[in-house]
Amino acid sequence: MPATIVQANSTPFKTVPIDPVTLEVIENALRNARIEMDATLVRTAMSPGIREQGDAFPLIADHKGRMIVGQFGSYIGPFLEGFDGTVEEGDMIFLSDPYSVGGAISHSNDWLVLLPVFKDGRLIAYTSMFGHQSDIGGMVPGSMPIDATSIFQEGVRIPPVKIWKQGVYNEDLVKLVMHQSRTPAWCKADLNALIASCRVAANRVVEMAARFGDDVFASATDLLLERNYRAMKQLIETSIGEDKVSFEDYICDDGVGYGPYKIKCTMWREDGRVILDFDGTDPQSAASINFFLNENMMKMFFGIYMIMVFDPQILFNDGYYPLIEVRIPKGSLLKPNFPAALSGRTHALGRLFDILGGLLGQKTPEFLNAAGFSSSPHLFYAGTDKNGKWFQLFQIGFGGIPGRPMGDGPDGHSLWPGFTNVPNEFLERYFPLRIERYETVADSGGAGLHRGGNGINMVYRFLEPGVIAIHDDRWFVPPWGVNGGEPGVRARKLLVKEDGTEIVLGNKLENYAVEAGDQLHFVTWGGGGWGDPLERDPALLAKELTQGLVTVEGARRYGVVLVDGAVDAAATEKLRAEMRAARGPIQTFAFGDIETLRANCEAETGLPAPTQPVWQKFAEAAE
C-alpha cells in the first residue's frame, strides 16, 4: 500500500502567476543547491570513491516527488507507492536494496538517504543523495564479487527504514549496518556526509519558499517541469521518427565463462511518445553483471543524451517523463529476477549510453557519437600490512571517450562528467602501493577525422601482499567507430612479477593473490573514431606524435607518413590515394563482426575469446 504523508498543515498549494525573472532566480537557486549538496558531500566524506572521485548523485524533488534538479532520475514516486509506512516531519529514509525500490539504485553498495522537507507543517519538497560505499560486507573485499550468484553474497541489504524518525536518530540501526562492513569508519563518515548534503539542500529549499512564498515556489517547480516537457516534446518530434530503429551492443563476458551478452533496444515515436523497447536483450546472467534498470533512470539517460546533443541549456528534470515509455523484458540482463546478483552492473550501465548514441544517430548521423561510454573499470586491492593494519582500495579507472561531431574524444576521461581521478599522491599516502606510470596509450583511440580518446595505462607497484579484483569490459568487443571512423583498441591487464615473469590477467577476476613487488599494468580501452581518418589534418598527427598520443606507425592509419617528426607531404598524398582506392564505401558504423573479433582477440589481448553462448547455461540447468 502507498505511504501515508502525515502533515500538520495539509492546505493544497495554489497555482499563482510567476514572472520570468522570479522563475529564473528560483531555477538557478535550485541548481546551486544541487551543487552545494555535492560540495558538502565531498568535503565531509572519507572514502576515496566519494571524496576523491565523486561517486554520488544528488536530487531535489517537488512535494509530489518529481525531480526538479539531479542526475539519475526520480525514484520517489514509485518508492512512495510501495512504502508501507508514514512520511512525517523529522523523518529520513535510509535504504540500499535495489529490489525494494524497483532498481532506483542499482546495487547494494549505493546507500541512499531521502529527506522529506517540511515548512510550517506542510510537505514542500524532497532532497535525496546516494553514494557508493567502499565495503558493505559480503564474500569479497569491496562487496562486488563478479562470481556472485545471488544478491545475498554481496553484503548487507537495507530495505527502506527510518534512520531518523520524527527527529530521533536510530543509532542502533546504524551500529547494526556498520557492523557488516570491513571499512566501518569510512562508511559511517560517508553516511553522515549523505545526510548532511540532504539537510543543506532542505535548508535552501525552505529559504526559497520563505523568500518567495510557498505557493510561488510550488508553482515555479510546476513551470520548470512544464517547460522541460515542452522542450523535450519538440526535440522528440524533430529527432525521433515513427519508423522503428534498432541497435545492439555487447557486454564482453560475465567473468564466469559466458559471453558475449547482447543488449538490444528498438526505438520509435508513437502517439507523440518515444518507445524504448529492450526486447531481444539476452537473459539475465548467473553472475553479477545484471543491471536492474529502473524505467525512470532509463528515461533520464535518454533525456540527458538528447539534451546534451541537441540543446545543453535545458534543465534536467522529470517533466518530460510522460513522453517516454520504457519496456524491459522481465528475466533479462536489464530486469533480472530476484535474487539475482547485481554488483557488477556498471558494464551494462555504461553500455546503454553507447546504445542510445547508436539509436539516435541513425536518423541524424552528423550528430552521432562513436562508442566509448562503455564501462566503469574498477580495481580493488586489499590485505593486512606488516603492521597488522587492514587496507582496502576501491578505485574507478577511465577509458577513452569517443570521437564526436565537434572534435576528438578526451584521453583517459571519466564516463560520468562529474567524476575525477583519485590523485596518485592520495593513493600512495593511504595505501601500500606506488604509481609508477600514469599515461595515455598511444594509438589506442580509434582513427578518424576526430580521433577517439586514448585509453590509459596505470601501473601499480604493490608494496604489500594482498588480493586484487578487476572489473572491466571492452576487452573482447571494442568500442565501435562511426561515419568512417575506426574502432578503439581493446582493454587489457598484465601482471609483471619481480623476476620479470608476465601474466596476462582477465578483465574480470576476483581474489587474485599478489605479492610485494608485483607490478600491475591496468590498461583501459580507447574510444571509437568519428569520421574519415584520411580527412584528418596531417599536421595534427605530427603534433600528437610529439605529445605521445600517436606513433609513427599509428599515423599511417590516417594515411599520414611522418619522417623525423615531420609530415612527408608527397608520401602522405600517395598513401592516402592508395588507401582510398583499396577501401570500400564508408559505413556509418564500424563494429567488426564477432567471428573476426574472436579470431583476433588472443593476439590483441593475450586472452582467449569468450566461447560459451549465454543460452547454454539455461540448457545445462534444464538438464
Instruction: Express each pLDDT in 484-503 by its tens digit.
Output: 999 999 999 999 999 999 99
**Average pLDDT score, the chain:** 92
Q: Please state, in angstroms and rounded to a whole number, the distance separating the CA atoms of residues 294 and 297.
A: 5
pTM of the shown model: 0.92
Give me 609's grid cell: 575469446
Question: Higher-confidence residue: 472 or 614?
Answer: 472
Q: Where is average pLDDT lowest: 105-119, 169-183, 296-310?
A: 296-310
Query: Is 616 a residue whose pLDDT tops 70?
Result: no
Question: Looking at residue 399, what DSSP letter applies?
Answer: B
Instruction: Express each pLDDT in 304-344 by its tens digit.
Output: 877 776 666 777 788 899 999 999 999 999 999 999 999 99
User: Of 612, 571, 587, which is closest to residue 532 (Cα–Cα)?
Assistant: 587
Per-residue CA distances from 398 to 414, 428, 440, 451, 582 (Å): 5, 19, 10, 17, 35
Give me 62's grid cell: 517537488
Element at 273 (helix H, strand E): strand 273-277
The predicted structure's pLDDT at residue 415? 66
The predicted structure's pLDDT at residue 362? 83
| pLDDT over 70, % of the chain | 96
Q: Where is average pLDDT lowest: 60-69, 385-394, 413-422?
A: 413-422
Give me 480's grid cell: 565501435
- Burial of 366 from C-beta contacts in 10 A (0-12 / 13-18 / 19+): exposed
Query: Is 614 a residue whose pLDDT tops 70?
Result: no
Q: Where is average pLDDT lowest: 134-138, 182-186, 236-240?
A: 236-240
Taken as a whole, the chain contains a residue count of 623
Identity of the amino acid at 167: G
User: Of 25, 10, 21, which is closest to residue 208 (Cα–Cα)?
Assistant: 25
Task: Average the pLDDT over 461-473 and give the result.
Answer: 97
Q: How confident is the model at residue 592 (pLDDT cuts 50, 70, 90)?
A: confident
**Three-state SS string across 436-448, please?**
EEEEECCCCCCCC
Give me 339's grid cell: 535474487
Longest dimension (CA), the chain: 82
Q: Please state, in angstroms and rounded to a whole number, the distance separating the CA atoms of residues 200 and 117.
A: 11
Q: Tally Cβ neighbours within 10 Å of residue 16.
A: 13
Q: How confident is the model at residue 15 (pLDDT cuts 50, 70, 90)?
A: very high
Task: Average the pLDDT over 103-126 and give the result.
Answer: 94
3-state secondary structure of 232: helix
Instruction: Express each pLDDT in 268-311 by its tens digit.
Output: 999 999 999 999 999 999 999 999 998 988 998 888 877 776 66
